[in-house]
Structure 1
Amino acid sequence: MLNKLSQIILKFPISVMTIILLITAYFFHYAFLSEQRLIVDFSLEQMFPESDPEKDSYQSFIDEFNREDDKILLVYDCDNPTSRKNISRIAELTEMMELDIDGIEGVISLSSIGDGDYFSEDLTDEEWNTQVEKLLQHPIYPNLIISSDGKTGSLLIDLENDVIGQDARTRVVNQLETVMNKVNWEWHEAGIPVLRTRYIQFMNQERAVFLPISFLVAMSVLLFIFRQIKSILIPLIAISTTLIWVAGIMAHFEISINVVSYLTFNLLMIIGASNAIHLLMKYHEGLSLGLSQRDSLERVIQKIGGALFLTSFTTAVGFCSLGFTNIKVTQQFGLLVGFGVILMFILTIIIMPIILNYIRPPNNEHIDRLIRGGQFLAADRLNTWNQKHPRSIITISGILFIVALFGLFKIDYNASVLEDLKPGNPLYDDLQYVEQKMGGTLPLEVIIDTKSENGSLQPQFLSKILNYKEMILKTPEINTAVTPGDYLMLANEEWGDGIRQLPNSLNDALSFTVDFDRVQALLNEDYSKTRISCRISDLPFDRGMQIREDILLAGHKLFGENIDINVTGSTLLALSTGRHLVKNLTTSFFIAFIIIFLSIVFLFRSFRLSLLAILPNIIPLMIAGGLMGYLGIKLRPSTAMTFSIALGIAVDNTIHFLARFRQEYKLSGDYEKAVSETLVTTGKAIISTGVILSLGFFVLYFSEFVPNHEFGLLATIIIIAAVCGSLILLPVLILQIKPTLRFKTGITNILVD
């Protein structure tokens, strides 16, 4: 198969390249110039699972009530938020926000209390101070628009329901920032819309920084290894062509560049550079044996092509395993990159030999430096060291295995919502400041269903709801909760008997509700259900689930079993989604592991050899997992995803080693000679690809975005450990066990040999 492919490629190079060029031009136009072009959509809503009880519960809440993820809290520090001067300034800002910014439904501020009459300019200083004291005892406003100590103020902004998606939110947030800058106060932002907007902006900034860095790292390593500009340009052509094809495919299937898929091009670039190193090494090796340029290129396609196909297949399996998750964007990312890896192999094995065939081959001095020079003395030294210290290598590997195993039991998978951000990040610092001054910033909703029309406005039920609220506020993480009863007491004070207490009858409650939008926002259409809107601090999954259980237990004790209670909100949904994704990714990892292992068994026709091959790839994964336990790195979606991806990439080294070892053993029939020859030839390419892969991932270590930082760290550790496993542990195991090798004709012989 590969023999025929090499003949077609080198016999009809112009025709083949013309076809590739035409397809590339089509994909380029479709992806970047057409109406269906590739779009960028970093909406975090895409991360919600396709089918999940938590999502269904949240969607049911959204359908019956107003959204709870459309509130922005702007906290400000000034000399005195309740002074006449500052109340006047807040009134001006409130008016500008409500009138000048499209997408804002309403603003609650210190100046808007009682339609602006609470802090009337006609008040005497004594009356003003009395109003301030009453404000701090108010059932709703403390920790909402004024801190409990009265030293910090805030504006609560309610967005219109159609402000959905990154573009709409960014427009509103930017306009709010313009208004805030009109006064010289210290501002801090919070709320789900701000969190989503700034989070995505932060991801975009990271993408703009690390994509070029990954590219420069890959090109720099190629230049260092081959010392020729053409050794950069030729792989670059193949990689760029593949990326254009992938972009065109993404546009065709309406796959956006999103919160997950933005890594696609970084990963494919690094993998493509790795493929190029193996191909160029094999090409120079053929020239060093005295083969002609054409014969050397045919040898490249026939020999390295099979190994590259196997490594591309295993890498693709690692990515495609993400298709078993329950989140659409993660499924798309896994399948897309998996397909992209196979596409990268096909285009690399076609484009690079064609271009190499048309340029002058490197001189003998350059070939000798690359193949026999001192640039890769590490491979020769490893060969010598392996022969001298086999027992030490096996002992050290066993110790690492045991130590890593203990570390695995220390892994914490109890992640929180805001742990993706590092201290020092403006968004993180803002949210922490707001939590410190005003309490929790994340929404939590408690829904109580009376199962009867107007049941939520019965005086007895309203009284129980206020008692339930007090029970909920005993939770340390919750310091703000609002019920319909809170607003109805204010309505009764203003429109009823003048006393701040609940209405005495259902009719009074109904009449107040009809004229009071804020009460209606906390009730469903027929007033059979009510909601208690809370704000909760950032918390881990386990604590979130415990709080939910405590709230449900307290509610059932208070109302009895005839009343249905549900605790939901975007906070619990985010926590549940993260835990759900971790479980899915763990399952996908084991699926990928099994598929890769069975593939190696099938291709090398030796179960014992396959066990030896997989062991050097298990230990790196265990080392990374053990370090997670010892360093306190939590098992979150980003770290769980690392293992599936890194397994597929790391096992490539083993396949290249075994493929070359099999060839050498077939020639000599001697295990030691075959291992030595493999180390000093393919070992050099494995070291080179290990360098380019580890550096490509390591640049993410410097990311301020925790998922990228941890992904870069763990992937780098796995890649380096896998290189060591393939070049140190695997040769020693082969020499100690001497597995039987079978040589048969057919597909396995074509691919492996």
Structure 2
Amino acid sequence: MFILFSLKKPWVTFVTLTLLLIAVASGAGKLQLTTDFRTYFSAENPQLKAFEALEQDFNKQDTLVFLLNAKEHAEIFSADALLQIRNLTEKAWQLPYARRVDSLTNYQRMQAEGDDIYVEDLFGPDFSGTFDELFDFSDHHPVINKRLLGDGKRLTQVIINLTLPDNDPLATAELVSEARRLLNDLNLSLFDVQLLGTAVVNVALAEAIERDMAALIPGSYLLIFTALFLLTRSLAGSLLSLTLTLLTVAAVFGILGWSGATLTPVVGAVPSMIMIIVVADCLHILVSYQHALKEGLDKTAALAKAQALNIKPVMITSVTTALGLLCLNFSESPPYRDLGNLVAMAALLAGVLSLTWFIALLRILPQPKAAAVDHGLGNLLLSFYRRVIAPAKKTTFLIAVLVTIVLGFGLTKLQFNEQWYHYYDDSFAVRQALETQEQQLYGVNFIQYSIAAADSDSVYNSDYMQQLKRLAEWLEQQPGVGYVDSVHHQLLEISQKLNQDQPQFYRIPDDSDAIAQSMLLYEMSLPFGMGLEERINIDKTATRLTVNLYKHTSRELVAFDDTVRAWAALNTPALSLTPGTGLDMVFAKISDRNSISLFVGTLIALVLISVSMMWFLRSLRLGALSLIPNILPALLAYGAWGYLSGQVDLGLSIVACMSLGLVVDDSVHFLTKYRYAREQGKTPEQAVEFAFATVGVAMLITTVVLAAGFALLVLSPFSPTWGMGALMSLTVVLAFIADIILLPLLLLLFDREKVPLQTQLSSQPQSQPGSNPAFTDFKN
């Protein structure tokens, strides 16, 4: 068996495995990072399908936006300011993938001469009007005033519609880089400029990951190394654990690279999670090794004993951790499936490497001159058990039940809420730009509708346009609505212009033929790139209506969409609305869908882990009892989160399934030692004490290391990372409490039957040097 071979031939084991890991890790160079928000959704997601169908009819909805905030001494409606806006508008057409540019200066102002319509830029090179007249026109124009100008006329925006290639993950970053270079080259001295739009938001995803990788990952590794060294007093063991972590991370990402996959936005947390798993495995082996050295065994015998004692629990924890993480494949979000698969792969790899590579290196290194300091931690835990738990089993159990009920009640306060703009904290420029859009423009949420003509083949129908206007006006009156973009605005203006600009003709014509002719006349007068294809599909059977809203929760967005469609069904029968779509709506629906899918995944993980525990422990009773301390931590952590926040997003919804595989680690080691003692003829009380004495310190150190590692993620500026870190850290702490209080109580109360003695094991204590024949094979 290769695991045993690592002690006999440590150099061969070390060199062979290291070379293999390096070869596998080389595949990481093939990885590319995708930052498109759409990667959060599977191709089968019905809301994403609806959004993509809308894009096929009305062009892609990707944008890049320049927010221009006039400085204190500047006025937008002045010659210098408008010249700067016009210059930016002209240069923006030259950006990669630009399809259309809309701004205050190139808004297509409509004029009519008889039956002819012509349009011109609002502030073009031949502008000859006054700035007061320009201000007055813009102030009273619904599209300019609500879409292109902010409150107080101190803010305007240049909006670039994009056609980004589907299979080029670098295109968005290239575009944003060019936009930033353009800002550096242009004279925009009268404005404070912010970048926004879907392209900028997507690039910010990559920047968030880079921040996590650059700061949090090294920081967490340093923290874990320091904690390991202080708690174990083993420099070699701590360095080897850290080295094995780095090799495992590199190998896992290498496998991903060789497979041809791409990196998704949540991978920033993967190295920290892998570190935690690797350290947990190495720590149990290291503590057992130190314990054996203190008992008088030499280095080789001590390592053999540590390896023999930990083969089963390490492999159990590796398998159960992988099972829990693999059930993330039930998630509705592909990046979290990738996260589960990556860390599950790492868990299995770490289990094997900790029993081979790690032990081989300890075998090669000189024996420590002195055993590690105990710190009294083992005695402290054992004393806690003897003085608190054992004398008052039923009282302690009752208190545990009451605490569970109180924290469990917090589950009723949880609400699923996915607000993508909260992914970034205030240190991100994109978050600051989003707040500017929220406060000075029309909000950061939007819902889009494809509205077909229910009783006609064409949208150029009077009933259709009348009811489209009625729907838009009703929407504008709803609370929380910032702006409604609808093609009927252009028709109203055309009607007025063709009737000598008389105000009473600012209405929808009654004649459908007149509508079709005037709209055709208007389209023919528009310059290249400024047509109506963004709002009317190519066969003129549907229009796109966009509702911009101020910040809404996921539930509020879904409720708003339901209200809109219900109202339209009753009041605008000529309109056939699709369900509201857009990335906001896709995100709004995914949390509920994901929670249901992950609930199924968690149940399956529970069954698989339970069966694994029963098989490894050879006990139905112990396997069943282990479920309680393994399930409760996540439930209680969510309950506590309900009191603290109450908001659960996509990143937090995976914690239950993910933590199930991680928190089982300590209970496996505790139950393995407990089961061994029971097979030696010890009573439940004696077996619990044996488990505390042999594995208690490792459990405590593991908890400190895991909780600290996850807690450090709270410093991330990216909410999916810090939220998951906070909840996982809380779950790990609660799992330790459950394992040192609830698990012993359950064993003392419900495991009273005698266990058959293991006749193949020596009745002599294993702590005696050389007493176990399995160890003597490896002595020098």
TM over 0.5, yes or no? yes
User: Which residue in 1 is equivalent to 2:91?
Assistant: 96
CA–CA distance in 1 between the matches of 2:441 and 2:585?
Answer: 20
Kindly state the Cα deviation for residue 326 of structure 1 after the two structures are TM-superposed. Answer: 3.2
Kindly state the Cα deviation for residue 608 of structure 1 after the two structures are TM-superposed. Answer: 3.3
Kindly state the Cα deviation for residue 116 of structure 1 after the two structures are TM-superposed. Answer: 6.2
User: Which residue in 2 is equivalent to 1:293?
Assistant: 299
Residue 509 (structure 1) aligned to one of 516, 519, 524: 519
Whether the 8 Å CA contact 1:71–1:192 is kept in 2: the answer is: yes
| 1:457 alignment partner, SS class | coil
Residue 107 (structure 1) aligned to one of 91, 97, 101: 101
CA–CA distance in 2 between the matches of 1:402 and 1:64?
Answer: 53
CA–CA distance in 2 between the matches of 1:747 and 1:697?
Answer: 42
Residue 82 (structure 1) aligned to one of 52, 77, 80: 77
CA–CA distance in 1 between the matches of 2:547 and 2:137?
Answer: 22
CA–CA distance in 1 between the matches of 2:103 and 2:10?
Answer: 71
Kindly state the Cα deviation for residue 564 of structure 1 after the two structures are TM-superposed. Answer: 5.0
CA–CA distance in 2 between the matches of 1:173 and 1:328?
Answer: 25
Matched, 1:275 2:250: no
- Report which stretch shifted further, 618-627 or 642-651: 618-627
Residue 266 (structure 1) aligned to one of 265, 272, 295: 272
Kindly state the Cα deviation for residue 451 of structure 1 after the two structures are TM-superposed. Answer: 6.1
Q: Counterpart amino acid of 1:593?
A: L
User: Which residue in 1 is equivalent to 2:115?
Assistant: none
Residue 485 (structure 2) aligned to one of 470, 482, 487: 482
Whether the 8 Å CA contact 2:22–2:251 is kept in 1: the answer is: no
CA–CA distance in 2 between the matches of 1:225 and 1:726?
Answer: 20
In the superposition, relative to structure 1, how do residues 123 and 527 fare at CA in structure 2: closer, same or farther (>3 Å)?
A: closer
In the superposition, relative to structure 1, how do residues 570 and 332 fare at CA in structure 2: closer, same or farther (>3 Å)?
A: same
Residues 430-481 of structure 1: CA distance to partner in whole angstroms, max 9, x if unpaired?
A: 2122111111233321211126886112244223222221122222232222
User: Which residue in 2 is equivalent to 1:339?
Assistant: 345
- Report which stretch shifted further, 314-323 or 156-165: 156-165
In the superposition, relative to structure 1, how do residues 408 and 28 fare at CA in structure 2: closer, same or farther (>3 Å)?
A: closer
| 2:159 alignment partner, SS class | strand
User: Which residue in 1 is equivalent to 2:766?
Assistant: none
Whether the 8 Å CA contact 2:423–2:719 is kept in 1: the answer is: yes
Q: State how 1:708-719 maps to structure 2 within 5 Å.
A: 708-719=721-732
Residue 122 (structure 2) aligned to one of 94, 97, 118: 118
Q: State how 1:559-598 maps to structure 2 within 5 Å.
A: 559-560=572-573, 563=576, 565-598=578-611
Q: Counterpart amino acid of 2:26?
A: H
- Report which stretch shifted further, 155-164 or 738-747: 738-747
CA–CA distance in 2 between the matches of 1:505 and 1:431?
Answer: 38
Kindly state the Cα deviation for residue 605 of structure 1 after the two structures are TM-superposed. Answer: 3.6
In the superposition, relative to structure 1, how do residues 472 and 280 fare at CA in structure 2: closer, same or farther (>3 Å)?
A: same
Whether the 8 Å CA contact 1:188–1:434 is kept in 2: the answer is: no
In the superposition, relative to structure 1, how do residues 143 and 509 fare at CA in structure 2: closer, same or farther (>3 Å)?
A: closer
Residues 652-676 of structure 1: CA distance to partner in whole angstroms, max 9, x if unpaired?
A: 1111001011112222422222221
Identical-residue share of aligned pairs (%): 20
User: Which residue in 2 is equivalent to 1:60?
Assistant: 53
Residues 570-597 of structure 1: CA distance to partner in whole angstroms, max 9, x if unpaired?
A: 2211222233223322332222223222
User: Which residue in 2 is equivalent to 1:687?
Assistant: 700
Matched, 1:730 2:740: no
In the superposition, relative to structure 1, how do residues 682 and 270 fare at CA in structure 2: closer, same or farther (>3 Å)?
A: same
In the superposition, relative to structure 1, how do residues 703 and 237 fare at CA in structure 2: closer, same or farther (>3 Å)?
A: closer
- Report which stretch shifted further, 275-284 or 659-668: 659-668
User: Which residue in 1 is equivalent to 2:767?
Assistant: none
In the superposition, relative to structure 1, how do residues 505 and 691 fare at CA in structure 2: closer, same or farther (>3 Å)?
A: closer
| 1:568 alignment partner, SS class | coil
Kindly state the Cα deviation for residue 536 of structure 1 after the two structures are TM-superposed. Answer: 2.4
RMSD: 2.9
| 1:39 alignment partner, SS class | coil
Q: Counterpart amino acid of 2:472?
A: K
Structure 2 regions of 5+ residues with no counterpart?
A: 110-118, 763-773, 775-780
Q: Counterpart amino acid of 2:75?
A: N
Kindly state the Cα deviation for residue 70 of structure 1 after the two structures are TM-superposed. Answer: 2.4
User: Which residue in 2 is equivalent to 1:183?
Assistant: 188
Structure 1 regions of 5+ residues with no counterpart?
A: none
CA–CA distance in 1 between the matches of 2:616 and 2:411?
Answer: 32
CA–CA distance in 2 between the matches of 1:96 and 1:59?
Answer: 29
Residues 110-154 of structure 1: CA distance to partner in whole angstroms, max 9, x if unpaired?
A: 2223476534688788x4313312212213112211125423222
In the superposition, relative to structure 1, how do residues 5 and 389 fare at CA in structure 2: closer, same or farther (>3 Å)?
A: farther
User: Which residue in 1 is equivalent to 2:26?
Assistant: 29
User: Which residue in 1 is equivalent to 2:452?
Assistant: 449
Q: State how 1:486-501 maps to structure 2 within 5 Å.
A: 486-491=489-494
Residue 473 (structure 1) aligned to one of 476, 492, 496: 476
Whether the 8 Å CA contact 2:614–2:620 is kept in 1: the answer is: yes
In the superposition, relative to structure 1, how do residues 123 and 218 fare at CA in structure 2: closer, same or farther (>3 Å)?
A: closer
Residue 334 (structure 2) aligned to one of 328, 333, 343: 328
Whether the 8 Å CA contact 1:255–1:332 is kept in 2: the answer is: no
Q: Counterpart amino acid of 2:261?
A: I
CA–CA distance in 2 between the matches of 1:533 and 1:104?
Answer: 21
Whether the 8 Å CA contact 1:488–1:519 is kept in 2: the answer is: no
Kindly state the Cα deviation for residue 277 of structure 1 after the two structures are TM-superposed. Answer: 0.8
CA–CA distance in 2 between the matches of 1:520 and 1:81?
Answer: 30
In the superposition, relative to structure 1, how do residues 634 and 743 fare at CA in structure 2: closer, same or farther (>3 Å)?
A: farther
CA–CA distance in 2 between the matches of 1:587 and 1:187?
Answer: 47
Kindly state the Cα deviation for residue 349 of structure 1 after the two structures are TM-superposed. Answer: 0.6
Whether the 8 Å CA contact 1:147–1:153 is kept in 2: the answer is: yes
Whether the 8 Å CA contact 2:25–2:255 is kept in 1: the answer is: no
Residue 38 (structure 1) aligned to one of 31, 42, 45: 31
CA–CA distance in 2 between the matches of 1:392 and 1:322?
Answer: 38
In the superposition, relative to structure 1, how do residues 448 and 94 fare at CA in structure 2: closer, same or farther (>3 Å)?
A: same
Residue 136 (structure 2) aligned to one of 116, 133, 136: 133
TM-score by length of 2: 0.88
CA–CA distance in 2 between the matches of 1:299 and 1:615?
Answer: 31
CA–CA distance in 2 between the matches of 1:614 and 1:251?
Answer: 36
Kindly state the Cα deviation for residue 390 of structure 1 after the two structures are TM-superposed. Answer: 2.9
CA–CA distance in 1 between the matches of 2:649 and 2:440?
Answer: 29
Kindly state the Cα deviation for residue 275 of structure 1 after the two structures are TM-superposed. Answer: 0.8
User: Which residue in 2 is equivalent to 1:227?
Assistant: 233
Q: State how 1:212-611 maps to structure 2 within 5 Å.
A: 212-363=218-369, 365-367=370-372, 369-370=373-374, 374=376, 376-385=378-387, 386-422=389-425, 425-450=428-453, 455-491=458-494, 502=508, 504-516=514-526, 517-560=530-573, 563=576, 565-611=578-624
In the superposition, relative to structure 1, how do residues 564 and 735 fare at CA in structure 2: closer, same or farther (>3 Å)?
A: closer
Whether the 8 Å CA contact 1:98–1:105 is kept in 2: the answer is: yes
Whether the 8 Å CA contact 2:35–2:202 is kept in 1: the answer is: no
Kindly state the Cα deviation for residue 11 of structure 1 after the two structures are TM-superposed. Answer: 2.8
CA–CA distance in 1 between the matches of 2:167 and 2:152?
Answer: 35
- Report which stretch shifted further, 736-745 or 638-647: 736-745
User: Which residue in 2 is equivalent to 1:653?
Assistant: 666
Residues 283-312 of structure 1: CA distance to partner in whole angstroms, max 9, x if unpaired?
A: 122223333332222222222111111111
CA–CA distance in 2 between the matches of 1:298 and 1:733?
Answer: 32
User: Which residue in 2 is equivalent to 1:158?
Assistant: 161
Residues 66-125 of structure 1: CA distance to partner in whole angstroms, max 9, x if unpaired?
A: 1223252524233321122211221222223224x3332332222223476534688788
Q: Counterpart amino acid of 2:260?
A: E
Whether the 8 Å CA contact 1:50–1:327 is kept in 2: the answer is: no
Residue 623 (structure 1) aligned to one of 636, 640, 645: 636
Kindly state the Cα deviation for residue 745 of structure 1 after the two structures are TM-superposed. Answer: 8.1
Whether the 8 Å CA contact 1:69–1:443 is kept in 2: the answer is: no
